[in-house]
Amino acid sequence: MKIVYVGPLWSGGTCLMRMRALQSLGHDVIGINTEPQTPTSPISDISARIMRRLGRPLDRFGLNDQIVSTVLEQRPAIVWIDKGLSVRPETLSTIRRSEAMISIVGYSPDDMYGTHNQSAYFLRGLPLYDTFITTKSFNVDELRRLGARNVLFIGNGFDPDTHKPMHVTPEDRCTFGGAVGFIGAWEKERGSQMLSLAKAGVGVRVWGWQPPKGLFQVKHANLVVEGRPLWGSDYVKAICGFDINLGFLRKQNRDLETTRSIEIPACGAFMLAERTKEHLILFEEGKEAEFFGSTEELISKCKFYLVHEEIRKKIAAAGRIRCLKSGYSNRDRIDAILRQIK
C-alpha cells in the first residue's frame, strides 16, 4: 500500500523506527516530519511553548498544508499520524473529502486520556480518525468516550536493527554502563527508589534524567546522574553495558508497560522492572525478566543478581528469545494492526 506517514521523524526516535517497519513490510511510505530541525528564534520558541500549553500548538513549518498537498498528490491508501497534536481537524476533514477510501489512522505511545498529552486540535480531530491505535490497554474505552470511533490496542515494540545484543568494550562500559542503570525521564518516585538503592550500597547510573532543582535531594556517592539522554547506538551500548537495567514506569502516564519493557530484553540485557499484569504477560518472572513490587524487593533483587552473573545472563538470553518468538518487533506489531484495519 501507499502510506503517508506523519510524525516526529528524528534519528533515534521510535516514530522513525515505526515508519521503517512499515517500509520493511513492503509498503510505499512517504514521510512528513512534524519536527524538522529548523533553527528558530528564542521568541518563537517561547510562543510555541505557550501555545502548546493552551492546547493549540503552533504550525511553524506549514505542517497542515504539507499534509493536504501530499495526500492530494500521492493519493495514499492510508494516512498514518503519529501523535498528531498539531494536526488540525480541518486538515483531517479535507483529507476525508478528497478521497472517501483513504483510511486515516492515528497512533500514540502515550496516555492520550491525560490532559498533559492532549491538545485542542487532537480532541476535536479524534472522531475523524477511522482507527486510533494506543499502547495503553486502559485507553481503549477512554478514547472511545472522547469520541474515537475505532480504537485498537497494540503492545510496545522494538526495532530489530537497533535493539539487539551489542559487544561492549571496557571503554564502552566505562563511558555508558555500570552495575545498575536506568535510562529515562525524571519522576519523584523513581528518584526516591534509586536513592534508596544508593544508600543500600548499590551503585546506580542514570541517563536522560535530571531532577528539578530544589525539588528533591538525590545526591549520593553511589548515585551518578548524567542528566542527558542517549539515542541510537549509545542507548543500546548503555543497556548492554549495565549488569541490571531498571524498568521504572511513568506514573503520570499510568504505564503498565513501556517501550523500555521490550527494548531492554530485545537487546539481550537483564531487566528488573516494576511488576504489573502486562509485564507478567510479556515475560515469565524469574526466567525471562525480573520484577519488583516494593523498594525492599528492588534492593534485595539488585544485590542478588549482581553476585549471580550466570543466572542473570541466562534470564537475559531467555528474554531476548521471548521477544523474537512472541512477535514483539515493530514489524510484527504493525503488520498485525494493518491486518485488522484491512
Domains of the chain and any CATH numbers: 2-153 (3.40.50.2000), 170-325 (3.40.50.2000)
When comparing pLDDT for 31 and 53, which is higher? 31
pLDDT tens-place string over residues 162-192: 999 999 999 999 999 999 999 998 888 998 9
Q: Is 2 in a helix, a strand, or coil?
A: strand
Q: Which amino acid would we find at residue 27?
A: H
pLDDT of residue 59: 74
Between CA 220 and CA 227, with CA 226 as vertex, the angle to 5 degrees is 110
Which candidate, 217, 220, 215, 216, places its Cα nearest to that of 205? Answer: 220
pLDDT of residue 169: 96
CA distance 106 to 129: 6
pLDDT of residue 55: 60
Task: Give alpha helix (H) positions in 178-219.
Answer: 188-199
pLDDT of residue 40: 47
Q: Is 299 in a helix, a strand, or coil?
A: helix
Residue 197 contacts by C-beta under 8 Å, 6 or more apart in sequence? 180, 204, 222, 223, 298, 299, 302
Using pLDDT thresholds of 50, 70 and 90, give the confidence band for residue 9: very high
To the question of pTM greater than 0.85 for the whole model, the response is yes
Least-confidence region, from 39-48, 80-89, 105-114, 255-264: 39-48
